[in-house]
Amino acid sequence: MKRTRLLNSELSYEISRIGHTASITLCDAGLPIPSGVKRIDLAIEQGYPSFLRTLDALVSEMMVEEIVVASEIHQRNPETFQGMMDVFQRHEMKPVVTEISHEEFKRLTCESEVIVRTGECTPYANVILKSGVVF
């Protein structure tokens, strides 16, 4: 059995295969997922698994150099934004934060290698994680 924190084999595999600047989108239960982009659906019920808990597990295996969020998060869900920043700080990462409109965010998800859907049901709990390098 795998010893590291992230046990989901499909998610762990996707993290292991992406290269520098490739992206993974982590989203709430409501974000539309474009056809043609691989989906890993972790949602079990409303709120489970949570966005922040899933982000924390994902970041335990992924180096992130940039994140993309919808600018609306600051008005509609500032707690989740602060929670994201806390997760990165715990993992000793300081990614560049790029803010775009929610509409542009949805368009940009088409470029992700994979979209990971959580059971989160709070507004704008979505992030595009751009892969960094460990050296």
Cβ atoms < 10 Å from Cβ of 24: 23
Known binding residue 126? Answer is yes
Q: How far apart are CA 46 and CA 65, in angstroms?
A: 30
Strands, E assignment, 1-135: 23-27, 38-41, 64-70, 96-100, 114-117, 127-131
Nearest to 11 by CA among 75, 55, 77, 68: 55
DSSP 117-128: E----STT--EE
Q: Which residues are annotated as catalytic?
A: 20
Is 8 assigned a ligand-binding role in the annotation? no
Q: How far apart are the C-alpha atoms of 132 and 18, rounded to whole Å?
A: 10
**Any binding-site annotation on 124?**
yes
102 assigned to a ligand binding site = yes
Known binding residues: 28, 102, 124-126
Known binding residues for substrate: 28, 102, 124-126
